Amino acid sequence: MNLCIIGTGYVGLVTGACLAEMGNTVTCVDNDAAKVNCLEKGELPIHEPGLDAIVASNFREGRLRFTTSLAEAVAGSKLYFIAVGTPPNEDGSADLRHVLEVARELGRLISGHCTVVDKSTVPVGTADEVKAAIRAELERRGAEVDYDVVSNPEFLKEGDAVNDFMRPDRVVIGTDSPRAAELMRGLYTPFTRNHERVLVMGVRDAEMTKYAANSMLATRISFMNEIANLCERAGVDVENVRKGIGSDSRIGYSFIYPGCGYGGSCFPKDVRALVHTARGYGLEPMIMKAVEARNEMQKRRLFEKITARFGADLGGRAFGLWGLAFKPGTDDMREAPSVVLLRQLIDAGASVKAYDPVAMQAARRTLPAQWFDSGRLTLADHQYGALDDVDALALVTEWKPFRYPDFGVVKKRMKQPVIFDGRNLYDPAELRALGFEYFGIGR
């Protein structure tokens, strides 16, 4: 098929590249000329394992191209994916300005039957708004064009998005049009050959499925963090509790690892958007509010443990920080627990030496310049370089190189052998036997 992907952010770029990998001809459109220029040179705006190779090979073979001209892309396709950002408004609702602007522009350009696909994460009812926006532009033109609007939410994990797209657990297609359903089934057939993974449902059902899925996963994390905090008070090791409940096939082990909170561009935004949606329908979302509140408190747990050990005034103290990205496998620092901890440490008078295998450029780009200018925050060239003469190490992101470090080197470089483990990577008894003070989450 000839496809048009509008938006070359995380979702749009992964979608376009993976669809091209299966033989489709894909044109990705972005109004940022600098970004398009970089993409044509093979410079990606995001870090995602395996994506750069797929983009490069399909660009080279002519199956994937980039442009700033939506008119040009529309002329060569009848299937358009809207994959632009939906950042949160101050009230937690999703900002649909970019989605609806694309819809209006499509309404000004389409000339024959086509299918418009909402790939962006959008609240219930957005497809109706997209359809209305297109219709209004067609009426303004005095044109009659037959078109379908489909919801096809993404379920991609940052750090494993290529694998998720190429080998999906499920493909959700929301449409009331048999014609559109058949078209979308055909598009995804190469990804679902070994068994049926396509779920066709109503448009609003599909829109809700995306929010419900992310909110359920966030709920599991916040629930386990609350259990971990209770375990600390009750003299219980949460690691044994995790194994005990995870062995129940009704529960499983996924997303029940306690830690210092979740972050990223999806879970926080989608939980807040679902809260806003519920209130819009007159329902007070008690569980979702608690999930968000617990997560915000959990992001402050490491600082609470640090001040309990060193006191509220951290002037003259230095801390090493391992991990800046909100999770391994990505350079995304949006709503990352590391940012909350950095702000708290610096506000309390401390200085910080931080290291992340991937997110160093993102840190320089997104963190306050005054932190660097004042010398309160420095970025180390190596994970052990973040430990020189520090009073303690705080581990925030569970990157693989942090999982089994040389603790002899760690101890030698630190001023004091104190570790605050925000992801429960280490065994408390083993660390204490090596002479470390160890503080985990619920251990």
Strand partners, 151: 118, 174
**Nearest 10 degrees: Cα torsion 362, 363, 369, 372:** -140
- Judged by DSSP in three states, 352 sits in strand
The residue length of the chain stands at 443
- Judged by DSSP in three states, 405 sits in coil
Distance of CA 379 to the CA centre of its chain: 23
Q: Please report, for residues 75, 239, 298, 300, 438, the alpha-carbon distance to residue 235 in angstroms, rounded to integers and kept in the order given.
A: 66, 12, 19, 21, 15
Alpha helices in 67-160 (DSSP H): 70-75, 97-109, 126-141
Verify whether residue 4 is a known catalytic residue: no
Q: Is 237 in contact with 218 (CB distance < 8 Å)?
A: no
Residues 390, 338, 357: CA angle, nearest 5 degrees: 75
Q: How far apart are CA 258 and CA 225, in angstroms?
A: 5
Q: Which two tokens stand for residue 340?
A: 């909350």
Distance of CA 132 to the CA centre of its chain: 30
Q: How far apart are CA 182 and CA 204, in angstroms?
A: 18
Q: How far apart are the first and last CA of the chain?
A: 53
For 350-361, give one letter per residue: b (16+ CB within 10 A) or e: bbbbbbbbbbbe
Q: Is 87 in contact with 95 (CB distance < 8 Å)?
A: yes
Which candidate in 4, 18, 28, 266 is catalytic?
Answer: 266
Residue appearing with tokens 């602007």 = 101
Q: For residue 184, which of 196, 166, 172 has the smallest C-alpha distance?
A: 172
Q: Is 217 in contact with 155 (CB distance < 8 Å)?
A: no
Q: Please report, for residues 30, 42, 219, 238, 398, the alpha-carbon distance to residue 256 in angstroms, rounded to integers and kept in the order given.
A: 38, 37, 10, 10, 15
**Active-site residue set:** 266
